[in-house]
Amino acid sequence: EQSDRAEALDQCMKHLGENQKRLLELRYTQSLSPAKIAERMGKSSNTVSAALLRVRKALRQCIEARLAAAGCG
């Protein structure tokens, strides 16, 4: 099931916009806080936090849909 989830995540990531991918990279690859990301992007911390929430929700829904369609969970 872990490999199914990883494959679903990979496929779902391909459908994200460049800004969404950049947010995720800064947050999870570079381990920056929303406040630090906001500084870099010239946005408010609340805006960044809300955008991250929306991206995570979209990824979760995409992954769950892919797993359900594949009969994996």
pLDDT tens-digit profile of 9-41? 999 999 999 999 999 999 999 999 999 999 999
Cα 51 off chain centre by: 9
pLDDT at 61: 97
As a whole number of angstroms, the distance between CA 60 and CA 52 comes to: 12
Whether the predicted pLDDT of 73 surpasses 70 = no
Cα 62 off chain centre by: 11
